Structure 1
Amino acid sequence: MPSIPATQRKPLLIGAGVLTAALVLGIASYTATRPEDPAATVKATGTASPAASRPGEAPATVEEKTGAYPELEKLARREAGDGLAVGRADAPVVMIEYADFQCGFCGKFARDTEPELIKKYVDQGKLRIEWRNFPIFGEPSENAARGAWAASRQGKFWEFHAAAYAKGAKEKGFSADRVKQLAEQAGVPDPERFATDLESDAAKRSVKRDQDEAYALGATSTPSFLINGRPIAGAQPEQTFTDAIESALKSAGGTGAAKSGGSAAPGDGSGS
C-alpha cells in the first residue's frame, strides 16, 4: 500500500474535538504498511483501543461493537447530486474512500472488491460510497483527480473511475492529454466542457478539499476508508469490508432498506 513521502505530508488540520479520533486512521494506515510490527495497537481492520486525548481535550468516543468513531462518521457529506458518490444520500451506512489513481492497491480494490460491494449493498439501498480524491504522487495524480471531478460534472465519474483503474491504464500515465482520452473512453458527452472543467479553479478547489480532509485525518497511505466512522486501511480482503458494513448496519438498527422506491443512483443526481 503506497505511503505518502514524508516531504509531502501536511499537518493535521482537523478541530480539537475530532483530532484524537482522527489519529486512529493515521495509525491504522501506518500499521497496514508495517504488518510485522508486534507493538502496533491498531490493526488493519480498523479496530482499536481509544487513543489518549491531549491535555484539556475531551476523550474521543468509540462505539465498542463496531470500532467506529462518531466524530469521524460526521465526515460523510451525504450531498444530493454529488457526482463523486454512488448510493442513496439516506443510506444507513456510508463508506468514504480516500484514493489515488496511480495507486496499484486502489486499482485492485476498484476492480476486485468495490463492484461486489455495490452489487450487494449499494444497489439494495444499504450503502453509499463517497469518493475523496487523495492525490499523493505528484502532477499525474493531480491531473487524474481533476479529471475525475470534471467527469463527475457530466455524470460520468464512475465510468472514468473504471477506465482509469483498468489493468494497464496506470502504466500509460496521466498526462493532461491522457486524462482527456480516458474521459472519451468513459463516454463523457461534452469533451470541450470536460477540458475546461479539467483546468478550472473549481476542480483544483474540490481536489484540495478532499486532499486536506485526508491529511487532516493523518492518512499516510492509499487507499484509506471510513465506514460509518470506522477506519480501515488498505485494499483488505472483501470479507473485511463486508464485516464492517454488516456491523454498521446492525448498529444503525436494521437492514437499511431504502425509504423510497427505485434503484440506487450515483450521487442521487446528475453530478452537474
Structure 2
Amino acid sequence: MKTFPILIAATALVAAGGCTKKAGDAGAASGNVSSAPTVAVAAPASGDWSEAVAPTAAGGFVMGNPNAKVKLVEYGSMTCPHCGEFEKTGAKPLIDNYVRTGKVSWEFRNFVRDPYDLAASLVARCNGAKSFFGLTRALYSSQGDWVAKLQTAPPKETEALQALPPAQQFTAIGKMAGFPQFAALRGVPVAKAETCLADTKEVDRLVQMNSDAVSQYNIPGTPSFLVNGTLLAETATWETLEPKLKTALAG
C-alpha cells in the first residue's frame, strides 16, 4: 500500500475546516486523466440522464450523458465543510437543470485531505456506481455528526491508531465514526462496509487520485471544478459555478 500522511495530523486537518483556497487561473488539462466512463452508458428509457452513473478511468464516478456538451468534474473532500455546503445548495439545481437533460455530465473525484476523509471516501465508494452519489450526499448531510465523533474520540483511541498496521487504520477510524452502521442503514451490509474500509487497493487508488489531481491540475483546495478539462478559478459555490456552465453551454 502506498504511504499516506501520518494519522497524528488528522484531527487538526478535520477541525480546521478550511478546505478551499483561492484558485488561480489554470490552463487546459492533460488528456492523461480521462472523464470517460469505463463501461458503456446507455440512454435511460425515462430520458432522465441523472439515472445513469458509471465509474471513470480517472477513479471517479460520473452521472449523466457521457456525450454531454459540457463535462463537469468536481474534486471534493468528505471532511470539507465547503464541499458539504456545495452539495447542500448546488447538487439539486445542477442535477435538475443540467444533468437530467443530458446537457452536462457531473463526475465526482474524491480528493482526500486526511485519513478521516479517506475512510469516509472508502464508505461512499463501497457499493460502486449504483449508490455512490447517494452515500456521498448522506455523508455530507451528516458531516457534522460523524466529524464530531472523530474529533471527540478519547486521545488514547486516536493515539492507538498510530500503532495499527495501515490495513487496519481505516477500519478503526470507520468504527470510531460509526460508518459501518451508517452504511447498513443505506443498503450496505456492515460486513461489506468493514471489508471496504480494509481494502488496500482502494486506498491506493484514492492516494493515486490525489497525486494525479496535483500533478495534472494543481488542485488548490476543495471543492475545485473542471469544465471540459480546464480548472476553473474561484468557483467553490453554486452561485459562482453556474455562470461558468452557462457560458460553456453557449459556446
Q: TM-score range by the shorter chain?
A: 0.5 to 0.7
TM-score (norm: length of structure 1): 0.61
1:212 shift after superposition: 1.5
Q: Secondary structure at the match of 1:102?
A: coil
Shift of 1:90: 1.8
Distance in 1 (alpha carbons) for counterparts of 2:185 and 2:32: 35
Q: Give 1:142 shift.
A: 1.2
Name the residue aligned to 1:187: 187
1:172 Cα shift? 3.5
Equivalent of 2:79 in 102, 105, 109: 102
Q: Give the 4+ runs in structure 1 shifted more than 6 A.
A: none
Conserved 8 A contact 1:132-1:211: no
The match for 1:76 among 35, 41, 50 is: 35
Equivalent in the alignment of 2:44: none
Partner residue in 2 for 1:159 = 134
- 1:121: Cα distance to partner? 0.5
Q: Which amino acid aligns with 2:128?
A: S
Q: Tell me by how many angstroms 1:74 deviates.
A: 6.4
- Please list the CA deviations of residues 65-110 of structure 1 after superposition, one character each: whole Å capped at 9, or x if unmatched: xxxx264696423333317221122222111111111100000001
Aligned to 2:203: 204
RMSD: 2.8
Q: Helix, strand or coil: the match of 1:31?
A: coil
Q: Which has the higher contact order (CA 8 A, sep 6+)?
A: 1
Q: CA deviation at 1:191?
A: 3.5
What fraction of aligned residue pairs are identical, expressed as a percent?
25
Assess if the C-alpha contact under 8 Å between 1:159 and 1:187 holds in 2.
no
Letter in 1 for 2:208: R
Which of 58, 63, 68 lines up with 1:86 in the alignment? 63
Structure number with the higher helix fraction is 2
Q: Give the TM-score normalised by structure 2.
A: 0.65
Unaligned runs of 5+ in 1: 1-7, 9-28, 33-41, 43-47, 51-61, 63-68, 252-272
Aligned residues: 190
